[in-house]
Amino acid sequence: MKVALIGVGMIGGSLLAAWRRAGLVTAAVGCDVEAEALARARQLGLIEHGVERPEAAVAGADLVVVATPVGAMAAVFAQLAPALPPAAIVVDVGSTKADVVAGARAALGAAFARFVPAHPIAGKEHPGVEQASADLFAGRRAIVTPTAETDPQALSRVEQWLAATGARVERMDAGEHDRIFAAVSHLPHLLSFALVAAIGAEPDGERKMGYGGAGFRDFTRIAASSPVMWRDICVANRAALGDELRAYRAALERLQRAVDAGDARALQQTFEQAARLRRHWKGVTDAG
């Protein structure tokens, strides 16, 4: 198939790398506002050539992959819609789904039936197409959130293509997706960014961070992720994320009271509950 990749970064580049290894791609065109990203993708053999505008990228494409930050997707759909080939399938790889589905429905017209919302659950803390890997999705989940209008054949083909990367493909409602990932992905990234920013803003923040060990490193690893991407995710999923953040702040308030009172019992109860849950989750993940 001929692929048009709109947004040439780690996720889209990794999809192309996996599909090329599987023999599924005959040609690929990249579209990105950053000329350097297009040049790197060509050097890596992921694309044959690059363009700056989505409507130029999709000519003759069998599959269009929209891998921009989610805040830009609605505008991208509007740009590429008039130039879409009649049978082209469109898929996104965004970390939020309800807003992306709404943007696609508004912009794609009849082609919305050939739009398959997707979220391959994998990544690295450092962005950029140079981080792309054909193995990125192996053994990971890839979620699709089809709508009532989604063409079954388009859905089936996208699921097959995602499975060809080594991912385990699941279907999910878009609203459920956004609620779940607000808790297990979006909130942790928000907290990691907040912790690094808070310590770094202190007068001796740099000195403190210089003493950070394994715990600080592990907790803050994801704070090196793309600020633009995570800004858009937090805004797009703000209702569900806001609920999770309020619940977390309530938990922090309980811990604040326990710390201020020197309430060792309350602290231990919270820590023991969390430790049991984390150990169980780790066991399930390792076994899977």
Quick: pLDDT tens for 12-58. Answer: 999 999 999 999 999 999 999 999 999 999 999 999 999 999 999 99
pLDDT of 264 above 80: yes
**Which regions of the chain carry the CATH code 1.10.3660.10?**
176-287
pLDDT in the model for residue 282: 64
* Structure-token pair, residue 178: 């956004």
DSSP state of 124: -
Mean pLDDT along residues 214-232: 93
Instruction: For residue 130, give the amino acid letter.
Output: E
Mean pLDDT along residues 71-89: 97
pLDDT in the model for residue 123: 77
pLDDT in the model for residue 23: 96
Residue 164 and residue 19 in contact, taking contact as beta carbons nearer than 8 Å: yes
Mean pLDDT along residues 64-87: 96
Closest CA to 161 of 207, 118, 112, 97: 118
Q: How far is the C-alpha of 74 from the C-alpha of 177, rounded, in Å? A: 19
Using alpha carbons, list the distances in angstroms from residue 231 to 85, 95, 187: 32, 12, 12
- Structure confidence by residue, pLDDT tens digits, 123-167: 777 778 999 999 999 999 999 999 999 999 999 999 999 999 999
Neighbours of 48 (CB within 10 A): 14
Per-chain mean pLDDT for the chain: 94
Helix (H, G, I), strand (E, B) or coil at 213: coil
* Structure-token pair, residue 11: 């996720």
Neighbours of 79 (CB within 10 A): 19
Residue 93 and residue 67 in contact, taking contact as beta carbons nearer than 8 Å: yes
pLDDT of 284 above 70: no
Instruction: For residue 49, give the amino acid letter.
Output: H
Closest CA to 15 of 101, 126, 142, 117: 142
Residue 68 and residue 34 in contact, taking contact as beta carbons nearer than 8 Å: no
Closest CA to 118 of 100, 139, 103, 140: 100
| Residue with more model confidence, 134 or 287 | 134
| Residue with more model confidence, 167 or 288 | 167
Mean pLDDT along residues 193-198: 97
Most distant CA pair in the chain, distance: 67
CATH class of 176-287: mainly alpha
pLDDT in the model for residue 275: 94
pLDDT in the model for residue 127: 76
* H-state helical runs in 92-237: 98-108, 152-163, 174-181, 187-200, 205-210, 214-220, 227-236
pLDDT of 288 above 60: no
CATH number of the domain at 2-173, out of 3.30.420.40, 3.40.1390.10, 3.40.50.10540, 3.40.50.720? 3.40.50.720
Residue 132 and residue 13 in contact, taking contact as beta carbons nearer than 8 Å: yes
Residue 237 and residue 181 in contact, taking contact as beta carbons nearer than 8 Å: yes
Q: How far is the C-alpha of 78 from the C-alpha of 74, rounded, in Å? A: 6
pLDDT of 204 above 60: yes
pLDDT above 70 coverage of the chain, percent:
98
Mean pLDDT along residues 113-129: 89
DSSP state of 168: E
**Which regions of the chain carry the CATH code 3.40.50.720?**
2-173
